[in-house]
Amino acid sequence: MSLKQSQQQVDNWIKNHGVRYFNELTNMAQLTEEVGEVARIIARRYGEQSEKESDKNKDLGEELADVMFVVLCLANQT
């Protein structure tokens, strides 16, 4: 799937689910939060930090998908 197709798919999802785009500043904050969640998983699972019990069920793929979704929202908006 191309980047343009991915952007269109995100735009369609937002329109079909009655959700609007958050403004760019809110999406930037959301992106920072999602990247932080990815960093936490990687640092605890693959880095030197010990993984907490509450982090063991976190899905890295889902968190990376959240990052991609917000990046595509920002791309559509700007």
Indicate the pTM of the whole model.
0.88
Q: What is the pLDDT of residue 36?
A: 97
**Distance, CA of 71 to chain centre:** 7
Looking at residue 18, its pLDDT comes to 77
pLDDT of residue 51: 82
CATH of the domain at 27: 1.10.287.1080
Q: Which domain holds residue 70?
A: 3-77
The series of mean pLDDT values per 10 residues for the chain, 78 residues long, is 96 90 96 97 91 86 97 96
Sign of CA dihedral 41, 47, 51, 56: positive
Judged on CB neighbours under 10 Å (0-12, 13-18, 19+), 73 is: buried
User: 69 is written with which tokens?
Assistant: 């979704």
Q: What is residue 40's predicted lDDT score, i.e. its pLDDT? A: 94
User: How many separate domains does the chain show?
Assistant: 1
pLDDT at 61: 97
pLDDT of residue 17: 93
